[in-house]
Amino acid sequence: MRILTALAKPGLVLSQPLYSQGGILFGKGTRLTRRYLRVIHEENIRILEVEDDPTIESWERAPDVDTFVRQLDARFEHFDKHRQMTLIKGAVREVYLDFLFDLEAPS
Q: Which of 16, 35, 39 is nearest to 27 (CA)?
A: 16
Q: Tell if the pTM clears 0.85, that is, is over it.
A: no
What CATH code is carried by the domain that includes residue 40? 3.90.105.10
Same domain flag for 39 and 75: no
Please tell me the total number of residues recorded for the chain in this structure: 107
**Phi/psi at 13 (nearest 5 deg)?**
-115, 130
Could you list the residue range(s) of the whole structural domain that residue 42 is in? Answer: 2-56
Same domain flag for 16 and 42: yes
> How does pLDDT run across 41-99, given as a tens digit for each residue?
999 898 999 999 999 988 888 888 888 889 899 999 998 889 999 999 999 988 888 88
Q: How many domains is the chain partitioned into structurally?
A: 2
How many other β-carbons are positioned within 10 Å of the β-carbon of residue 84? 8
Per-residue confidence (pLDDT) for residue 106, from 0 to 100: 60
Same domain flag for 45 and 75: no
CA 78 to chain centre: 27
**Phi/psi at 98 (nearest 5 deg)?**
-60, -45
Same domain flag for 9 and 51: yes
Same domain flag for 52 and 6: yes
